[in-house]
Structure 1
Amino acid sequence: MKQPLQSLEQLLDTISTLTRNNEKVSLGMVVESIGNRSFGPLLMLIGITLFSPLSGIPGMSVFMGSFIMLIAVQMLIGREQFWLPRCILNRSIEHSKLQKALNWLSKPARGIDRFLKPRLTFLVNNGGSYGIASLSVVIGLFMPFMELLPFSSSTAGFALLLLGLALVVHDGLLVLLAVLIFTTTFTLIIVNIL
């Protein structure tokens, strides 16, 4: 049985091991390596993807929005194991591009991990985790609109990364920060659309 992830750096290291032995790394391979019952690490994975240079790929926001919705809704209905369609799991990226993104994220990950600790745990335990899943659904619904405002998907990705980290390390302060970031991004999108 694999050990649960407890930090952002552990998540990046787990994904990095896949780039050593494979020419292309599929989303299915990544999900299998981090565990397909772990909502926090999966949110972190989506957040990292959207926050990294990979978010510049056209359509990535819409694709990740559907991925968020699938996972968050399954968490809300209490599924024990997440189901994802083959068309999503088979999506892959060249190992060199993935490793470049992971290298870009490794130094900030080490710095972020130093500040994480369990606090305000009521925001991440029991009912709090359902609140995080509900917020994730809202973020997923707004992802297509984030294509209209440059870097908004990156800020939403950062909010998702914080929510995933909050679940992994039980740090409720990260939930509050994620809500603030997403609220600001949401406001900017509405202002630009109107």
Structure 2
Amino acid sequence: MDGGGIEDGAESPRMTAPAPVRRASMSRSLLRAANQRGEEESVSVEAVLASLGDRSFSWAILVFALVNLIPAPLGSTLVTAVPLLIVTAQMALGAHHLWLPRVIARRRVSRKALKRAVIRLRPLVRPIERTLKPRRPWLFTARNERIVGAMLFAVSVALFTPLPLTGAFPAWSLVVSALALLDRDGTVLLAGLTAGAASIAVTVAVVAAVLAGVESFFV
């Protein structure tokens, strides 16, 4: 699947500036995307992302992070975190268009499970969305967005690591970062990246503790 951010077309000159149009909330946008494309019980990833429109990297990170917040057996992140590794790696490399392997783009997600996840997380996400506004524009230059992509890739690696009590933390930091990217809010983005760095530290500490335990067992 190829996708890319679609730039807003230039508007014709007016005597007075139009009132700013605020982006629809994450929950409304995702619920609308989940309800499109017929009445089948599942919807493909590419259909969801196509329905969400521009800023495909940000929406892809948000969608795949939400998938990782759906309750699943330990070790499932070895599969569900792979799309995040692919998306954030492309962002870090400065890709202009989002590309997903066909096996991921065509993968189907239960509409009910997606809706339940969005509805369950809405009370936690809405306060964040209410604070979003364009801030710290210097964070969104091409060079800095590559750095952000590299940091989000590191967070995705932490999410990929199949360890107990470590999955939700990096997934949440990715959700916050994606929301900030969608509204170009550098302040909230820094908060998301800080949470991501903390999740990496927690993952490293858990891995170190597990390795120390294994080593002491064989000594």
| Shorter-chain TM-score tier | 0.7 to 0.9
**Paired residue type of 1:80:** H
Whether 2:200 is the aligned partner of 1:186: answer: yes
CA RMSD of aligned residues (A): 2.7
Percent identity, please.
Answer: 21
Q: Does 1:15 align with 2:36?
A: no
Structure 1's 189 and 45: CA in aligned 2 closer, same or farther, altered over 3 A? same
| Counterpart for residue 74 of structure 1 | 90
Unaligned runs of 5+ in 2: 1-5, 9-21, 209-219
Structure 2 distance, partners of 1:104, 1:97, is 10
TM-score by length of structure 1 reads 0.82
Structure with the bigger RCO (C-alpha within 8 Å, sep 6+) is 1
Residue 123 of structure 1: which of 126, 139, 151 is its match? 139
How far did residue 157 of structure 1 move? Answer: 1.0
The aligned residue for residue 149 of structure 1 is 164
AA in 2 matched with 1:22 = E
TM-score by length of 2: 0.74
1:45 matches 2:49: no
Pair member with larger Rg: 2
Shift of 1:88: 1.0
Query: 1:128, 1:5 → 2: CA distance?
Result: 24
Alignment-derived partner of residue 163 in structure 1: 177
Instruction: Note the alpha carbon deviations across 1:32-63, whole angstroms, 9 max, x for none.
Output: 2224762111111122222x3x1424544222
The 8 Å contact of residues 25 and 129 in structure 2, kept in 1 or not, is answered as: yes
1:75-128 per-position Cα deviation (integer Å, ceiling 9, x unaligned)? 333433222112112222322222222221233333321111111222233322
- 8 Å CA contact 2:134, 2:183 repeated in 1: yes
Larger helix fraction of residues: 1
Structure 1 residue runs of 5 or longer lacking an equivalent are none
Alignment partner of 1:91 out of 107, 112, 117: 107
- Aligned residue number for residue 30 of structure 1: 48
